[in-house]
Amino acid sequence: MITGDSHELLLAGRIDGEGANQLEEEILQAMRSGARQIYVNLKEATFLCSAGLRVLLQYWRQMKNSQRLLQATRPSPEVDAVLATSGFREMLVEKI
Amino acid sequence: MEVALTNHPEDKKRLLAALNGFAQANQLPAVVVRAADLALEEHLANVMNYAYDDPRPHQIRVRLAVEQGHLLIEVEDDGKPFNPLQASEVDTSVPLEQKPIGGLGIHLMRRFMDELHYRREGNRNVLGMRKRLDPPAT
């Protein structure tokens, strides 16, 4: 979903090794189409592992370095446990 | 039970189905199944990505058992000698700007499982994991 410069990506299902590749593709697409804010909506993600975390981190950094924003939103409790255990909750935005 | 997989990522679906079937048959708590699912995904990703130098398919065996109130998992592969537990601890309190990209997988395995151990048996790596079936609420 796109509103102006803001893109929301909805990732459903497992963000495992293959899911992380899919996530990366979608982030890159959003970046290529000029997104200034990317929100990775995790409400339908059932699983998140380090492959997904690495993609999120890599592009969080890239966006930040060009004064743009990538954030994750609405994790389920299970996905939130992985974010918390890895010290990634800084990447979460409360609302949306 | 034992599941034989090849080192092809598609095969992970079979393992997940086997884990869920085993979990149902043994009435494992959901939190234990999720921890096992994550630890297996992390370890198998390492094995599939790094253990082999050739393009041939390789067999990976995963054993699941319940013993004395614990879920036991063993993953056996015939790849290069590789002890994932030798990786140094990750400091996850570091802010995102400085967070290291590597080591997150092992960190998650260590935090979500209660015990991990590695041994080399002949030409095989064996990674064992244990988790209490009644983990304390965190």
CATH number of B2-132: 3.30.565.10
Of residues B135 and A31, the one with the higher pLDDT is: A31
- Name the residue range of residue A79's domain: 2-93
Mutate to test the interface with A, among B41, B43, B49 (most CBs of A within 10 A): B41
Number of domains in chain A: 1
Alpha-helical segments (H) within chain B: 12-25, 30-50, 104-112
Q: From residue B116, how far is each of B56, B83, B99, B102 by CA, in Å?
A: 28, 11, 24, 19
Q: What is the pLDDT of residue A96?
A: 47
What's residue B101's pLDDT? Answer: 77
- Candidate from A49, A90, A91 with C-beta closest to B38: A49
Per-residue pLDDT 10s for chain B (138 aa) are 999 999 999 999 999 999 999 999 999 999 999 999 999 999 999 999 888 999 899 999 999 999 999 999 999 999 999 898 887 666 777 888 888 877 899 999 999 999 999 999 999 999 999 999 996 665
**pLDDT on residue B137:** 62
Mean pLDDT rounded to a whole number for chain A: 93
For residues A59 and A27, is the Cβ–Cβ distance under 8 A?
Answer: yes
Q: What is the pLDDT of residues A41-53, one digit of tens each?
A: 999 999 999 999 9
End-to-end CA distance of chain A: 12
Measured between beta carbons, the chain A residues lying within 8 angstroms of B94 are 87
Contact list, B105 vs chain A (CB under 8 Å):
49-51
The domain spans of chain B are: 2-132
In a mutagenesis test of the A interface, which of B97, B104, B109, B110 is the best target, namely the one with the most A β-carbons within 10 Å?
Answer: B104
Question: What's the CA gap between B79 and A94, in Å, rounded?
Answer: 43
| Partner-chain residue, chosen from A47, A54, A90, that has the shortest CB–CB distance to B95 | A90
CB B83 within 8 A of CB A78: no
Chain centroid, CA B26 distance in Å: 19
CATH number at residue A71: 3.30.750.24
**CA of B94 to nearest chain A CA: how many angstroms apart?**
8
